[in-house]
Structure 1
Amino acid sequence: MRPLKLFSLDTGADFARRVATALGVPLAAHEERDFVDGEHKLRPLDDVEGADVYLVQSLFTDPASSVDDKLVRLLFLVGALKDAGAARVTAVIPYLCYARKDRRTKLHDPLSSRYLASLFESLGTDCVVTLDVHNLAAFENAFRIRTLHLPAQPLFVDFVVERLQGDGNPLVVASPDVGGVKRAEAFRQALGERLGCAVGRAFVEKYRSAGELSGGVLVGDVRGASVVIVDDLIAGGGTITRATQAVQRGGAARIFALASHGQFCGNALVDLAQLPLEALAVTNSLPQPAGARLQVVDCAPLLAEAIRRLHSGGPATQLSV
C-alpha cells in the first residue's frame, strides 16, 4: 500500500492536526513562504513520491487572508505535490467556497462552482472530499473527477438525541426555507429512526432578492413542541433569525438550531445570542471564536474515517449516505 501523507496550509493546521490525531499519522511538513511583493510559494518538505496524499483545508476568509488567497495556495500546493511525484492527491475541503453560486439566477450570472471544479481538475487533483455542500446535485455535476460528499447528519443526530433525553414534548424538524426541505427531511427521518418515534415537519417561507430577505410564514404545527431547525450554513444569520422567530410565534416549547458550517459574518453571533435558542450548534469545519455561545461538534473524526477508507480502498461511499 502507498504511504499516506497528510498536509494542510498554515491557516488550517490546527484542524488538520485533529484529523491527523484521529488517523494516527503525523501532519506532513511543508514550506509556505511569502515574498515582499505579495506573491508566495509552497512546497512539500516530506518526500511524497509514490504517496497517497491528502490536503486538508477549508476555504474561507479570515482576518489573515482571503478565501481567494487560500484557494490559490491550495491549488499551488496540489500542483507542487503532483510535480514532486505524488501518486494521488485528494483535496479534503470541509467548507468548500463558491458552492452557493451553482446556477444562473440573473442574466450573465457566473457558474462559480463549475469554474472552481475546473481549477482543481486542471492541476491534476484526483478526488475532492467535502462536508455538506449547499447543493449536492450541483456539486456532483460540477466535477469530472471523483468526489465524496460527507453529510454532518449523523453527528447532529447524536447531538440532538443527547439533549432530548427525558423530553416529553412532540418533536418537529424544521427547515428555515423551502430550499432546505430535503435536507431537513433527511434529518427528520434519521432522528425518528434513532429515537423510534414520530417526528413532525415544518418549514418557513423565505424570499431573497439583492441580498434582502423577506417572508417568514411558518408552515407546520410546532405548538408545544421541541423544534430542531436544520440548515447547511449560517453567514449573516438572517435566515436562522427569521426561522427562530416564526417557530417561537408558532408556540414552540424548545428551539434548537443546527448548521454544518458557521461563518458568522459581521455581528451575526451577537445578534443570534439574543434569540430564544436553547442551543446553536455548528461543526468545526470553520474555526470558531473562543467564548461564543456556540456548541461546536467535531467533524475531524468523520473526515479522518473518510481518508482512512479512501486510502485503504473503501468502502468510502457508504459515508455519503
Structure 2
Amino acid sequence: MPAITEPKLISGNANMPLAKSIARRMSVHRGMSVGLVDARIERFNDQEIFVEVFENVRGEDMYVIQPTSNPANDNLMELLIMVDALRRSSAARITAVIPYFGYARQDRRAKARTPISAKLVANLIESAGVDRVLTLDLHAAQIQGFFDIPVDNLYASPVFALDIEHHFKGQMDDLMVVSPDVGGVARARELAKRISAPLAIVDKRREKAGEIAEMKVIGDVQGKKCIIVDDICDTAGTLCKAAEVLMENGATEVHSYITHGVLSGPAVERIKNSVMKSLVITDSIEQSAAATAASNIRVVPTAPMFAQAILNIWNGTSVSSLFETETLVPIYEGMYQRS
C-alpha cells in the first residue's frame, strides 16, 4: 500500500549530528528537503524534561531519532516524553529510531534477585506509544522478543565489510577476524564470512567481575593482520588486553571494528596508548572531542543505512535487504569503491 504522507523526523539531544545526517541523506533520496521537525526539548531547574512540538504532526508518520546512550536515563526519558507528546498530538504512527539501545547488556538474570532491565525498557517504550522500533546491532538478538511490536535490528557488519575491503585492498588474504570472547563468536563469524577470512577467538577467564585473570588465543594468528569484532566498547580494558595477547601470539597488526563506541572512563586514553593500529566505530553514539581527535580512532557513518531503512519502513518495503553488503554499495555512494 503506497504511503500517503511524507516521513517526518524528530530528534532528541542524544545524537543531533546523526539525526541531521539522516535528514540530509533522506533529502538526497527523496529529491526534496527533509528536515527535523521543529521542537523544544529542555530541562527545568529540577532537571525535569519538557518537550514542545511546534509543527502540526496530526496523521503523520513520525520517526523519533534518539539513542539511549550516556546519560542513559536522561536520554531514555527524553525518548519517552517525545513519544508521548507525539501520541497526544495525534501522530498516525511513531517509530523509535534507537541507534544504540541502552540497558541491552541487562538482558537476562545472571544471578538471583536481579532485574531484566532490557525487558523493562522495552515495556516502557511500548507503553509510551511507540508502534515500531528501528535499532542497530542489539547486544542480544533476543531483545527483539521483549517487544510485542515490530523491531528492525540493522547490522553494522555489511558496512564494516565494505570498509575493510576498501582499507585492506590487496591484503585480504592476510586478514584474520577475531572474536574477543566466546560469546561474540557468531558476530565475528558473520563478518569473517562476508570478507572470506578465517576466524580466531580470544578466550578470557575472569576470577571476579571486572578483572581478567587469563587470556588465550584459540587459532593461529601468526603473521596475520587481526581484526577484532564486537558490538560494544565500553572502558576498552578487555579490547586493549586482547590486542596485546594477539601481538604476543605473532599477529603483525591489530585493528578493531566495534559498532557502539561507548568509550567511558579511561577508554580513549587506553586506546591511544594501545598496540591497536586502529579502532573503527560507528556514529551510533555521539563521540567526545577527545575520541574524535585520537589518531587511531575512526568513525564510519550509519546515516545512509538508517535513512534507507526509514524510507523502506515508510514505503512498506523490505528492511532486511540492508543486511547485504551489495545493497549498501550504492547507498554509500562512492565512499567505498569495490573492485
TM-score, scaled to structure 1 = 0.93
Using the TM superposition, give the Cα deviation of residue 169 of structure 1 relative to its aligned residue in structure 2, in angstroms: 5.2
Q: Which residue in 2 is equivalent to 1:104?
A: 109
Using the TM superposition, give the Cα deviation of residue 32 of structure 1 relative to its aligned residue in structure 2, in angstroms: 1.6
- Mapped contact 1:127–1:147 kept (Cα < 8 A): yes
Change (3 A) 1:86 1:74: same
Could you tell me which runs of 5 or more consecutive residues in structure 2 were left unpaired when the two chains were aligned. 28-33, 325-339
Q: Does 1:297 align with 2:300?
A: yes
Residue identity matched to 1:23: M
Using the TM superposition, give the Cα deviation of residue 276 of structure 1 relative to its aligned residue in structure 2, in angstroms: 2.0
Q: Pick from 7, 11, 18: which aligns with 1:8?
A: 11
- Mapped contact 1:43–1:81 kept (Cα < 8 A): no
Structure 1 SS opposite 2:183: helix
241-250 or 102-111: which moved more? 241-250
Q: In the TM superposition, what are the counterparts of 1:155-174 in structure 2 within 5 Å?
A: 155-167=159-171, 170-174=174-178
How many aligned positions are there? Answer: 310
Q: Pick from 44, 67, 72: which aligns with 2:72?
A: 67
Residue identity matched to 1:303: F
Residue identity matched to 1:256: H
Q: In the TM superposition, what are the counterparts of 1:1-321 in structure 2 within 5 Å?
A: 1-24=4-27, 25-61=34-70, 66-136=71-141, 138-167=142-171, 170-192=174-196, 199-208=197-206, 209-288=208-287, 289=289, 290-293=292-295, 294-320=297-323
Change (3 A) 1:47 1:38: same
- Mapped contact 1:213–1:238 kept (Cα < 8 A): no
Using the TM superposition, give the Cα deviation of residue 210 of structure 1 relative to its aligned residue in structure 2, in angstroms: 2.5
What CA deviation, in whole Å up to 9, does each residue of 1:217-252 have, x standing for no partner? Answer: 000001011111101010010121121112111101
Residue identity matched to 2:18: F
- Mapped contact 2:69–2:102 kept (Cα < 8 A): yes
What CA deviation, in whole Å up to 9, does each residue of 1:244-274 have, x standing for no partner? Answer: 1121111011221110011111111111122
Could you tell me which runs of 5 or more consecutive residues in structure 1 were left unpaired when the two chains were aligned. 193-198
Structure 1 Cα separation of the partners of residues 131 and 19 of structure 2: 19
TM-score, scaled to structure 2 = 0.88
Two-structure CA RMSD over aligned residues (Å) = 1.4
Q: Which residue in 1 is equivalent to 2:337?
A: none
Structure 1 Cα separation of the partners of residues 24 and 172 of structure 2: 39
Using the TM superposition, give the Cα deviation of residue 140 of structure 1 relative to its aligned residue in structure 2, in angstroms: 1.4
